[in-house]
């Protein structure tokens, strides 16, 4: 009796138990892989939105006194700036992305419209405030850029990103 | 004959062992086709590297403030570039142009390996990083 082997039924039951344990383990592995993928996705989105804000900062820092406007509905930031020799830039939210359009500063009037570049996906709101020297305003129309701009983005996962950019050519500098 | 008497003491019969082997073989037959093979792994690895290079090139174009042209050609044996699409239009030339202010159109590069394994690298429009997407079905 002590030398009796396993029966077929016992083996099959053991295999079945092993399979169940393996399936449970596989489920854990799959879940952690999904979590990793989701984390990477979130990180990518945040990084991309952050890069877009840095890009906007670089454009704003080079703003020229050539028509600077901010409107709140829909949120739009329009100015001339960016890399030499500068371009007419528009930042706005389109199809759930922070979009940028760069029209040549000295373009032909019949030139085809400049393409819209969706810089960063997953952006639900853009909030631009400008400092006119004394207070933050949400609307601005002038030839001169303001002293500073504060740009806030809201991402679709609820994250908020914000930068404040002092503008070297901004209002008030020459009034000193 | 004492055969039936010895059965319990001797362990499995041939029939029992065969039945177990058959069950194991059946389980393996179900699982094995879903495991990635050599060619598939090579294509996935090549796609991962390409995604990394494209992301890096885009970053460099943006930081450097000047557009960059990236040539895309097969380097790993057994993997070739099947298609390069820019905004849905198929490009025959083996490369893409990356702008200094992000790109208006997404880039899709399809890599194929021996045995029909495929991987797609997607560089989204704008400033984002490239990623490998699974090619499902055909």
Query: What DSSP letter does each residue of A109-168 carry, written as one string?
Result: TTPPPPPEEEEEESEEEEEEEEE-SSSEES-EEESS--SEEEEEEEETTS-EEEEEEE-T
Confidence at residue B136, expressed as pLDDT on a 0 to 100 scale? 53
Domain carrying residue A84: 40-166
Residue B106 pLDDT more than 50?
A: yes
The reply to whether B23 and B43 lie within a common domain is no
User: Does residue B100 sit within a domain?
Assistant: yes
Q: CA dihedral in degrees (B122, B126, B129, B135; nearest 10)?
A: -10
Decide if B130 contacts B123 (C-beta within 8 A). yes
The answer to whether A48 contacts B127, with C-beta atoms less than 8 Å apart, is yes
User: Does residue A32 sit within a domain?
Assistant: no
The answer to whether B12 contacts A5, with C-beta atoms less than 8 Å apart, is yes
Instruction: Calculate mean pLDDT across residues B8-18.
Output: 78
* Entry pTM: 0.75
Domain carrying residue B54: 38-133
Which one of A19, A83, A120 has the shortest CB-CB distance to B126?
A: A120
User: Does residue B138 sit within a domain?
Assistant: no
The reply to whether B113 and B59 lie within a common domain is yes
What total number of domains does chain B contain? 2
User: Which H or E run includes A36?
Assistant: helix A8-61
The reply to whether B24 and B62 lie within a common domain is no
Which one of B62, B104, B124 has the shortest CB-CB distance to A55?
A: B62
What total number of domains does chain A contain? 1
- Mean of all residue pLDDT scores within chain A: 88
User: Does residue B77 sit within a domain?
Assistant: yes
Which residue of chain A comes nearest to B62, CA vs CA?
A55
Rounded CA gap, B127 and A118, in Å?
A: 8
Decide if A116 contacts B104 (C-beta within 8 A). yes
The reply to whether B7 and B65 lie within a common domain is no
Rounded CA gap, B138 and B92, in Å?
A: 22
Contacts of B16 in chain A (CB under 8 A): 7-8, 11
Residue A59 pLDDT more than 80?
A: yes
User: Does residue A21 sit within a domain?
Assistant: no
Rounded CA gap, A94 and A111, in Å?
A: 23
């Amino acid at each position: 009796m002590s030398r009796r082997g396993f029966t077929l039924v016992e083996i099959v039951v053991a295999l079945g138990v092993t399979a169940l344990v393996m399936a449970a383990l596989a489920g854990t592995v799959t879940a952690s892989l999904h979590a990793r993928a989701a984390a990477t996705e979130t990180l990518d989105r945040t990084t991309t939105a952050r890069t877009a804000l840095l890009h906007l900062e670089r454009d704003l820092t080079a703003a020229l006194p050539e028509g600077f406007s901010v409107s709140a509905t829909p949120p739009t930031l329009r100015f001339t700036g960016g890399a030499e020799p500068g371009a007419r830039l528009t930042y706005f939210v389109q199809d759930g992305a922070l979009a940028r359009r760069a029209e040549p500063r000295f373009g032909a009037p019949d030139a085809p419209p400049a393409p819209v570049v969706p810089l960063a996906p997953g952006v639900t709101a853009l909030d631009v405030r400008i400092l006119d020297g004394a207070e933050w305003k949400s609307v601005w129309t002038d030839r001169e850029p303001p002293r500073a701009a504060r740009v806030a983005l809201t991402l679709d996962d609820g994250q908020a990103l914000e930068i404040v950019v002092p503008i070297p050519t901004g209002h008030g500098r020459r009034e000193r | 004959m004492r055969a039936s008497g010895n059965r319990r003491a001797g362990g499995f019969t041939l029939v029992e062992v065969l039945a177990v082997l058959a069950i194991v073989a059946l389980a393996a037959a179900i699982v094995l086709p879903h495991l990635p093979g050599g060619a598939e792994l090579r294509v996935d690895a090549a796609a991962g590297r390409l995604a990394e290079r494209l992301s890096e090139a885009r970053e460099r174009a943006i930081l450097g403030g000047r557009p960059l042209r990236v040539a895309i050609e097969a380097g790993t044996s057994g993997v070739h570039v099947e298609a390069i699409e820019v905004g849905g239009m198929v490009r025959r030339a083996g490369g893409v142009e990356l702008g200094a202010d992000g790109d208006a159109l997404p880039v899709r590069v399809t890599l194929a390996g021996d045995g029909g394994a495929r991987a797609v690298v997607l560089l989204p429009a704008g400033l984002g990083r490239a990623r490998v997407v699974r090619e499902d079905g055909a």
